[in-house]
Amino acid sequence: MYDCIVVGSGPAGGAAAYHLAKRGRRVLVLEKEALPRYKPCGGGVSPQVQSWFDFDFSPAISLKVTQMVCTWQGEEAQLLEFPPEQPMWMVRRDVFDYFLIQQAQRQGAELRPQTPVTGLTWGGDRWQVHTPSGDFTAQYLIGCDGAKGSMAKWLGFKDRQQRVGAAIEIEAAMPDHSLTAAHFDFGRLHNGYIWNFPKRDGYSIGVGTVALGRKQNLRAIGAEYAKTFGVDFNQVKVYGHPLYCWQQHQRLHTQNALLAGEAACVVDPFTAEGIRPSLLTGMLAAQAIDRALSGDPEALTNYSQQVQQEWGADMIWAKRLSTLFYRMPRTAYELAVKRLSARQRMGQIFCGQLRYRDVAANGLKLLASGFRLPGVRR
């Protein structure tokens, strides 16, 4: 019997397995796909995450960018230099996720790829996890199987609080490109933006909306944007996936089980950042399970509270900024992107140097006042 079974080997699952195995716990990771596996994702990662691990992520980083370029419908480029000691990481998820799970294996975690979970049974003091390869038993479970996974439903989380968005993404091979900045474009779609995150050998171009509602042709929007970088959407495979953004505080624990990562709906409701909160909740889940195994009866309850304190409390401000920014995006762009000081704070948030709560009060006041000022374009 295992101490804990982790379902899913993405950033949340890898982080949970690593931190549990490092504490000497017997951990099994079940992953439905063969590894390494492709995962559609822009792949922008805050360097803040390095402080949560005691190994160097450098082998898993495709490119470190030191600049951010923002445009309004392809024009009016605004440049921001990231702090030189805090460049933004650009990663490919097949490499990054597999590298992380390999670090967990080196600590003693067991991995079973191509082993989809087909159901769960609670046995009074342990979980039976059913797979086509047989059943596995553990005292605790961590569901890290993403936005579309079944663990949340099987564990009884039927009404998760989430702000549902959507994204489409492509990977374009550009072996000789010279792009050194992360590009963001606003104004072409409702409740979202377009991006081009360069990697060492190509581009990750995507279109994302953090709140569904208005019908939009994301593919057509992305295809038009990609032309500016010499990319033809008709020559590459287009991937689509939902975004389960943070909506409000919710319970993430149940009987001997936790949710982490996108299964816990912790995607940033403003920027759609998902890797950093997945790594954070995976680490916090491992710490909680470790305490539970050591006899702490409140460990899992405290996990839900800790996620709220360390991530959700900040996402309250992110959601407010997102709502106001996308209500009148042109005005917001004039006030919050074209201003160098505002752009610098945005870069500090991306790099983990600031939290939304550090800047949101002034940002909300600025946006709210800007909407009322005559002469400001709307």
Q: What are the structural domains of the chain?
A: 2-314 (3.50.50.60), 321-367 (no CATH)
pTM of the full structure: 0.93
Instruction: Give the residue-averaged pLDDT of 264-275.
Output: 92
Q: What proportion of the chain, given as a percentage, has pLDDT over 90?
A: 69
Strands 202-209 and 192-199, bridge-based pairing: antiparallel
Residue range 246-258: mean pLDDT, rounded:
94
Cα 291 → chain centroid: 26
Show the tokens assigned to 360. Answer: 């949101």
Of the listed ranges 37-46, 74-83, 222-231, the least confidently predicted one is 74-83
| pLDDT attached to residue 376 | 41
pLDDT at 369: 62
Q: Average pLDDT, stretch 356-377?
A: 61
* The pLDDT of residue 99: 98
Residue type, 56: D
Question: Could you tell me the two tokens for 318?
Answer: 């992110």
Average pLDDT over every residue of 138-161:
92
Say whether pLDDT at 371 is over 70: no
pLDDT-derived band at 363 (thresholds 50, 70, 90) equals low
pLDDT of 365 above 80:
no
Please give the full DSSP string across 149-173, using - where no structure is assigned.
-SHHHHTT-TT--EEEEEEEEEEEE
Query: Per-residue pLDDT averaged across 238-247, rounded?
Result: 91
The letter for the amino acid at 48 is Q
pLDDT on residue 162: 77
For the stretch 318-355, pLDDT in tens is 998 888 888 888 988 888 788 888 778 887 887 777 88
pLDDT of residue 368: 63
DSSP 10-52: SHHHHHHHHHHHHTT--EEEE-SS-SS-------EE-GGGGGG
Q: Rounded to an integer, what distance in angstroms lies between the CA atom of residue 115 and that of residue 132? A: 7
Rounded to 10 degrees, what is the CA torsion of 184, 275, 133, 157?
Answer: -100
Does a cis peptide bond (omega within 30 degrees of 0) precede residue 198?
no
Q: How far apart are CA 115 and CA 104, in angstroms?
A: 18
By C-alpha distance, which of 223, 225, 173, 224 is closest to 199? 173
Residue 361 has pLDDT above 80, yes or no: no
pLDDT for 353: 79
Confidence of residue 141 (pLDDT cuts 50, 70, 90): very high
User: Which residue type occupies 138?
Assistant: A
Pairing state between β 134-143 and 127-131: antiparallel
User: What is the mean predicted confidence (pLDDT) over 72-78?
Assistant: 90
Partners of residue 253 on adjacent β-strands: 258
Q: What average pLDDT does the structure give for the chain?
A: 91
Question: Higher model confidence: residue 317 or residue 19?
Answer: 19
The span from the CA of 40 to the CA of 95, in Å, is: 12
Tell whether the model's pLDDT for residue 198 goes beyond 60: yes
Q: Please tell me the predicted confidence (pLDDT) of residue 283.
A: 98
- In sequence order, the 6+-apart residues with CB closer than 8 A to the CB of 297 are none
